[in-house]
């Protein structure tokens, strides 16, 4: 991205999150600082329970930090906003609506004229290759297809930031590879700032410009690795020597944290 001006889009400042429950307090995050640049693709990896989803939920505005704050374009995040689109592992589609209706939902909420809503929805349905299924209901689709609808729906809202929590986690390896490739293509066409959580180090290295490794709970940022592999990337990138080197390095660090949890 030579020559492009880089601007901070998301600031995570000294974020701490405690959950208070009947069995005591869990410190999920403690002292997380991170700047994410506009149009950047950041992947977050770390052992289970290290606070990845907690951080995403704070960025989405679904949870409040106990202390510290997160900002979008310098403004503190409180509550949800269409500027921040979220895709979870379990596709949250409306079962009573067709693919087209699900994807049109966001533009309709913005009170755009119906023809325009349809045009926007169809553009993103095409983008995820589901143009032949726009009249289908979620129950008539496979898991991968439903997740594609969820991604199309997130894009149709035209968010400035996409927050994705293991969006491909429930899919088989082939579907997952296909959706990774589609997501890469989409990101290159229509750059959005992406914050993407995954357990899969391969996936993180394939997609991200930077991989953020979190430490075992309470979650902190352990290290940030620049993925200096040029785009466009595709599944063949996974056999590049540099890919394998970065993957081994990150995998080892995540494994060390996993061992910490097991101690």
Ligand X SMILES: Nc1ncnc2c1ncn2[C@@H]1O[C@H](COP(=O)(O)OP(=O)(O)OP(=O)(O)O)[C@@H](O)[C@H]1O
Residues near Mg ion (CB under 5 A) are 53
> Which of 8, 35, 49, 105 lies at the binding interface for ligand X (CB under 6 A)?
49
Among 9, 52, 146, 153, binds ligand X (CB under 6 A): 52
- The one among 1, 6, 48, 114 contacting ligand X by CB under 6 A: 48
Residue 219: both structure tokens together: 């979650």
256: CB partners within 8 A, 6+ apart: none
Among 15, 32, 37, 50, binds ligand X (CB under 6 A): 50
Told to check if 26 binds ligand X by CB under 6 A, we report yes
In sequence order, the 6+-apart residues with CB closer than 8 A to the CB of 24 are none
CB of 52 vs ligand X, minimal distance in Å: 4
Distance of CA 101 to CAs 7, 17, 107, 205, 261, Å?
35, 37, 10, 34, 44
Choose among 77, 58, 75: nearest CA to 66: 58
Beta carbon nearer to ligand X, 40 or 166: 166
Question: Residue from 4, 19, 73, 226 that binds ligand X (CB under 6 A)?
Answer: 19
Q: Which does 26 bind (CB under 5 to 8 A by kind): Mg ion, ligand X, none?
A: ligand X
Alpha-carbon torsion, ordered 47, 49, 55, 57, to 10 deg:
130
Among 15, 51, 65, 125, binds ligand X (CB under 6 A): 51
Chain residue at closest Cβ approach to Mg ion: 53
Q: Does 25 bind ligand X (CB under 6 A)?
A: no
Per rule CB under 6 A, count of chain residues that contact ligand X: 13
DSSP sequence for 182-193: HHHHHHHHS--E
The listed partner (ligand X, Mg ion, none) that binds 51, CB under 5 to 8 Å by sort, is ligand X
Which residue blocks in the chain are alpha helix, DSSP H? Answer: 52-60, 99-109, 114-127, 143-156, 173-189, 201-207, 241-262
Question: Rule CB under 6 A: which residues touch ligand X?
Answer: 19, 21, 26, 28, 46, 48-54, 217
């Amino acid at each position: 991205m030579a020559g492009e001006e880089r601007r901070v889009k998301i600031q995570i400042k000294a974020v701490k999150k405690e959950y208070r429950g009947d069995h005591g307090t869990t410190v999920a995050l403690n002292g997380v600082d991170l700047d994410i640049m506009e149009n950047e693709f950041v992947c977050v990896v770390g052992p289970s329970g290290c606070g990845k989803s907690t951080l995403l939920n704070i960025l989405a505005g679904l949870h409040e930090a106990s202390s510290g704050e997160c900002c979008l374009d310098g403004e503190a995040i409180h509550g949800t906003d269409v500027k921040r689109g979220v895709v979870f592992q379990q596709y949250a589609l409306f079962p009573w609506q067709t693919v087209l209706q699900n994807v049109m939902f966001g533009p309709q909420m913005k009170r755009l004229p119906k023809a325009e809503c349809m045009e926007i929805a169809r553009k993103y349905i095409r983008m995820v290759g589901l143009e032949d299924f726009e009249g289908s209901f979620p129950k008539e689709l496979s898991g991968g297809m439903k997740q594609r609808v969820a991604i199309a729906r997130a894009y149709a809202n035209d968010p400035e930031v996409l927050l994705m929590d293991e969006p491909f986690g429930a899919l088989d390896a082939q579907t997952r590879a296909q959706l990774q490739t589609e997501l890469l293509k989409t990101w290159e066409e229509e750059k959005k700032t992406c914050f993407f959580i995954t357990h899969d180090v391969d996936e993180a290295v394939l997609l991200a410009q930077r991989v953020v490794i979190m430490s075992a709970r309470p979650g902190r940022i352990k290290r940030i690795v620049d993925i200096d592999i040029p785009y466009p990337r595709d599944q063949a990138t996974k056999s590049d020597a540099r890919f394998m080197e970065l993957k081994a390095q990150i995998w080892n660090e995540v494994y060390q944290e996993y061992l910490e949890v097991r101690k």
